[in-house]
Every structure is written in structure tokens, then in C-alpha cells.
Amino acid sequence: QIAVMTLTLFPIRLLLAAFMMLLAWPFALVASLGPAERAPEQPLALWRKKRVVDFLLKAIMRTMWFVGGFHWVTVKGRQALPTEAAILTLAPHSSYFDAIPVTMTMSSIVMKAESRDIPIWGTLIKYIRPVFVSRSDQDSRRRTVEEIKRRAQSNGKWPQIMIFPEGTCTNRTCLITFKPGAFIPGVPVQPVVLRYPNKLDTITWTWQGPGALEILWLTLCQFHNQIEIEFLPVYNPSEEEKKDPALYASNVRRVMAEALGVSVTDYTFEDCQLALAEGQLRLPADTCLLEFARLVRGLGLKPEKLEKDLDRYAESAGMKRGAKINVSEFAAYLEVPVSDPLADMFSLFDESGSGEMDPREYVVALSVVCRPAQTLDTIQLAFKMYGSQEDGSIDKDALSSILKTALGVAELTVTDLFRAIDQEEKGRITFADFGRFAETYPDFAEEYLYPDQPPFESCAQTPPALTPNGFCADFSPENSDAGRKPVRKKLD
């Protein structure tokens, strides 16, 4: 079928779709140069409110989707008016074909700042006056939340905002943690669920799997592509939810998951970055550091903001020279109150159940979460804490403790690795020794630490249900039983 369609229907569809985009471009360009572009803080200009351009662009874009094989779009439920729900939350987000409901409604959207530079498509995007956000710029995220809040509280003066609260593409087998941006304003939202009930999935676009061009090619080679858009009832937040955006987001996600018939997982886009980081100590399949990262966020300690405090934490932990602390001392160490989430995190490091932990292990785990690709930086930090006061050297047991914590595993044999580094058989090694060895043997982890275990990215031993961009569905809440277990132990 692909061979026949590639030689016949595919080129025709591709040309027609490109023509429709080119046809829409001048309308969007002229509209974008109007008064609304010169005063972006104001709602749509009067001539834009007549929806003439909206009508033309909707017709053109619907024709484009039609020639691409989306012959009809099944719509269930009723889209709420802007005065009823200023924000539409869409999930799951799994493909660039999720733009279909955007072009059907001409709602504003929240999307990556880089998208504005895409030729032609970028102009069409700017027409709907989206809220741009940069993942790498923390100040950009703050401004984005403020802009969403301002538009959402405008009493219908702005068009509705469509937000994909997952913040990244998944493969629709579950809903990951919703980011709180759509829920911070505390206004009613309308959940919208998307389904692609096709016999063969050519739609899904994640980090692992077919690329964007291959997805486009395979989809255009399908004679017919199905999509269902269901508008669920407007969700009115309680007073408690208005005060707690995370609770609000979680409850809306639950409603959407029930409508979709899928499970939820408390892991996020950042967890995927951690799992697939290309450092020398790539996380193995049985790592528990994802559970640790989730608990860090649960305490309100965002890893991306904690990196600057690593040296301070390390200095404080190193001064204790291996002395253990209890949960109250751990709370004081982190400068947070004692709470259930803190107790859960404490228990990750309390291997013996004695009610005590080594704060150095927390610093090592936190360093990996904050900078997963910078293996040597984490090891150097660990040497500063575990090393002797004379020359900063460590023995085999200390190396074992460091690497087990850095990898989040229960069992790890470091004898061969230690011997390979300790060429002079001193029984102790320095960071300089470790650095020289790592430079000579950049793949030392695969050879010496877990030569028979596949890296995390393969997920070969897990069920076929994969969560965002390739990390394993075994980490859904019903399977995540690590809350009261040491960080080095496997999840059930």
C-alpha cells in the first residue's frame, strides 16, 4: 500500500496541502500586520472581530486537512463560549496533527518560541496570536503564566486559549503530569480529549520512533485518517483548587483520563530528559532516580533551580564526614518543614530502616537529577564529600556508594572498575585517577558496571505501553512502589 500510494496519491496530496498553506499565508500575513500586531497587549482589533479572515482561513485549512486524508472530523460535545471557559485544555498531545482542532477553532495557543520562525507556518501561527514560551528561559515561563492569567481573566475579550498541559508529545497510552500554567488563573476550563482511532498508527510523533517527515509520509499514504475531538463539560474549580493549581491540574487530568480510558503517571517531560540523558553514567532500566526526582518536585524544590545550591549542599554534607542525620535534621538541611513528601524522600536513603541517612547520598542523587549529562561533575562533587582530608582519595566502598546512588540501583559490583582505575594498587583512588580513566575509556560504565543490562532507553523488558517519548510505563503510580524504599532498590 505504501509503495503504491507513494507513487500515486502521496505526491498529489503533498502538493495540494502545500498549495493550501501558501493560499492561507497572505491572509494571515496581512492580518498579522494589522493594529493587533502593533499592540499585542490589546485584544483583537474591530475588523478582526468580524471573523472574515477567520472564516477564510478555517475553510482553507479544513480543505488542507481533507486532502491529507482527514476526510471528516468527528466532534463530540459542545465547545464552550469564551465567557464560559476562557481556557481549553487538550490531551493527550501526541502529534503535530493535533493542530487540527486549533485550525478548526482559531483559538490562541501556547507553544514553543522557536515555532514563530518556521517559514509560512510561523506566519499562520502568529495570526492566532499565541503565547510563546521558551523551555530554557525561566523568566519566559513566568511571563507566559502572567499572560495566560491576563487573557483568561479578560471576561471574553480575548479568544479562548488552547493549552496542551502535558507540555510534550506522548504516545497516548497514559496522561503524564499536567503543567500548572493553564490552572494558575483559577478560572473554569473546558477539557478536550483527542483520539486517533486508526487501525495503523502513523500519527504519533515522540522523541523515539519515526521522525516528522516519515510521520507525514506514512500518514499521507493512508487513504483515510480518523480523528475524534470530544469537548467535555466545563470544569469549575473549587475554592481549594483555585488556591492549589497542582491539585486543580491533577483533578482535571483525572477527568480526562477517565474519558479516554487510560491511566495517569506522575512523571514529566523533565523525567524523560533525565532518563535519556547522554552522560557516561546513563541510567539503567531499574533506576529509582525518577522516583527521587518526582519527590524533589513534590517538596517544591525544582531541580533546575537547585543546581546553583549543589556546592553549598555538598560542603555541608562533606563536613559531617559520613555522620548520619534523622528526618528532622534532614528537613533543616533542606530548609523545608517536616512533611509526608519529605518522609518519603528520607526513606529512599534510609536503607537499614534505622531512621538515619547519609546526606552525601542526597547530594549525589540531586546532582544527577540537576545535570544528568555531566557525569564527571557529579563524580567530582562526590569525591569532595567522600574523599580523605589529606589527598581527597576514596576507597572501593566509597566508590561503590557513590556509583550506586548516582545510578539509583540496589546492587552494583565495582571491584573490576576500581582495580582498572587503581593501576598502582594503592587501595585508594583520586578524582584525577578517575578522570584520566574516564577519558581513556569513555564507555567504562557499559563495560565495567552493567555490561549485560540494556540502557534505560531500550525499555526492552517492559510492556509495550510506553509513556512520554520512550520511558517505561512501569513508572505509573500503580506500579511505583518506591515511596518507602531505599533509592538503590528496584521498583517492583
Q: What is the pLDDT of residues 364-421, one digit of tens each?
A: 888 888 887 788 888 888 898 998 888 889 889 889 888 888 888 777 788 888 988 8
Residue 61 and residue 172: Cα distance in Å, rounded?
A: 25
Element (H, E) at 162: strand 161-163
> Given this model, what pLDDT does residue 392 score?
87
> Given this model, what pLDDT does residue 65 score?
95
- 308 class by beta-carbon count within 10 Å (0-12 exposed, 13-18 middle, 19+ buried): exposed
> Given this model, what pLDDT does residue 10 score?
95
CATH class of the domain at 2-264: alpha beta
> Given this model, what pLDDT does residue 235 score?
96
How big is the chain by its Cα radius of gyration, in Å? 26
Residue 474 has pLDDT above 90, yes or no: no
Amino acid at 2: I
Residue 104 and residue 106: Cα distance in Å, rounded?
A: 6
The conformation of residue 13, written as its DSSP 8-state character, comes to H
Residue 485 has pLDDT above 90, yes or no: no
Query: Which range, 209-213, 272-276, 448-452, is most confident?
Result: 209-213
Checking DSSP bridges between strand 189-195 and strand 228-231, what pairing results, if any? antiparallel
What residue spans of 33-91 are helical by DSSP H? 35-38, 46-49, 52-67
If we measure between CA atoms, which residue out of 385, 387, 368 comes closest to residue 456? 368
Give the residue carrying C-alpha cell 470544569.
235
> Given this model, what pLDDT does residue 164 score?
93
> Given this model, what pLDDT does residue 483 score?
34
Q: How far is CA 219 from CA 2, 12, 172, 330, in A?
A: 10, 13, 17, 53
The stretch 128-155 carries a mean pLDDT of: 79
284's CB contacts (< 8 A; 6+ apart) are: 407, 409, 450, 453, 455, 456
User: Which pLDDT tens digit goes with each residue over 280-331?
Assistant: 777 776 678 888 888 887 777 776 667 777 888 888 888 888 788 888 988 8
If we measure between CA atoms, which residue out of 162, 156, 124, 167 comes closest to residue 21? 124
Give the residue carrying C-alpha cell 593501576.
423
- pTM confidence score: 0.72
Domain extent listing, the chain:
2-264, 270-484
Determine which of 88-102, 291-305, 332-346 has the lowest per-residue pLDDT on average: 291-305
How far is the first Cα of the chain from the last one, in angstroms, to the nearest whole number? 43
The stretch 241-270 carries a mean pLDDT of: 90
> Given this model, what pLDDT does residue 257 score?
96
- State what percent of residues in the chain have pLDDT above 90: 30
Amino acid at 66: F
> Given this model, what pLDDT does residue 3 score?
95
Cis? peptide before 35, omega within 30° of 0: no
